[in-house]
């Protein structure tokens, strides 16, 4: 079974990354969640990525703050798409994590989303867009979601709109 693997660097990341999981639940997308650190448990990270890939992980999401090497460590172990979610909490309130996540060497790509909650949500959507390349049902759900969001903007505007 195809699924998305979400790896967080520490338990404190759950308060943000739970937003990602809620999106997967809403769209009925299979996922796994674990805590593993690029620095504190590098062997666990390596072994998990290899195992998850062999069991059907199609996309990996790595969420970490500060030095934020987790997504890069994941990318070093797989050729599957990796999405990095930089998290706030360091001395630079997430900018350090953003720069660490986005600055990968050539041939080791990590798709990097925004810092924090918006990044967690965007990582879920990006992972689902990747999965939808081979899943027409999911592609349809994503299109329907976009239509509903556009309608909500129009409804919200109608409540306050003033035109001359």
% of the chain residues with pLDDT over 90? 93
> Which pLDDT score, from 0 to 100, does residue 89 have?
82
**Are 6 and 21 contacting, i.e. CB atoms less than 8 angstroms apart?**
yes
**Are 72 and 110 contacting, i.e. CB atoms less than 8 angstroms apart?**
yes
Cα–Cα dist 43/38, whole Å: 8
> Which pLDDT score, from 0 to 100, does residue 92 have?
87
Cα–Cα dist 64/72, whole Å: 11
Q: Quick one: CA torsion of 36, 41, 43, 45, rounded to 10 degrees? A: 20
**pLDDT of residue 115 exceeding 90:** yes
Residues in the chain: 164
Q: Is 34 left (phi over 0), alpha (psi -120 to 50) or beta?
A: beta
- Other beta carbons within 10 Å of 57: 23
- Other beta carbons within 10 Å of 152: 10
> Which pLDDT score, from 0 to 100, does residue 67 have?
84
**pLDDT of residue 143 exceeding 80:** yes
Cα–Cα dist 103/112, whole Å: 9
Residue 84's φ and ψ, nearest 5 degrees, are: -100, 130
Q: What is the mean pLDDT of residues 30-40?
A: 96
Which pTM was predicted?
0.95
Q: Which residue has the tokens 């035109």?
A: 163
User: How do residues 66-105 score in pLDDT, each as one tens digit?
Assistant: 888 999 999 999 999 999 999 998 778 899 999 999 999 9
Q: What is the mean pLDDT of residues 106-122?
A: 97
Per-residue confidence band for 32, with pLDDT thresholds at 50, 70 and 90: very high
Mean pLDDT rounded to a whole number for the chain: 96
Strands (E), 21-163: 31-35, 57-65, 82-87, 111-112
Q: What is the DSSP letter of 141?
A: H
């Amino acid at each position: 079974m195809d699924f998305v693997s979400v790896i967080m660097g520490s338990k404190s990341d759950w308060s943000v990354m739970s937003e990602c999981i809620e999106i997967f639940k809403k769209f009925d997308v299979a996922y796994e969640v674990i805590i593993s650190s690029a620095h504190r448990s590098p062997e666990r990270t390596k072994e998990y990525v290899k195992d998850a890939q062999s069991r059907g992980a199609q996309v990996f999401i790595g969420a970490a703050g500060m030095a934020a090497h987790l997504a890069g460590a994941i990318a070093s172990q797989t050729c599957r798409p990796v999405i990095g979610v930089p998290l706030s909490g360091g001395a630079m309130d997430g900018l350090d994590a953003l720069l660490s996540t986005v600055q990968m060497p050539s041939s080791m790509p990590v798709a990097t989303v925004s810092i924090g909650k918006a990044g967690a949500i965007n990582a879920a959507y990006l992972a689902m867009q990747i999965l939808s390349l081979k899943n027409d049902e999911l592609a349809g759900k994503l299109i329907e979601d976009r239509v509903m969001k556009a309608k909500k903007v129009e409804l919200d505007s109608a409540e306050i709109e003033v035109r001359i």
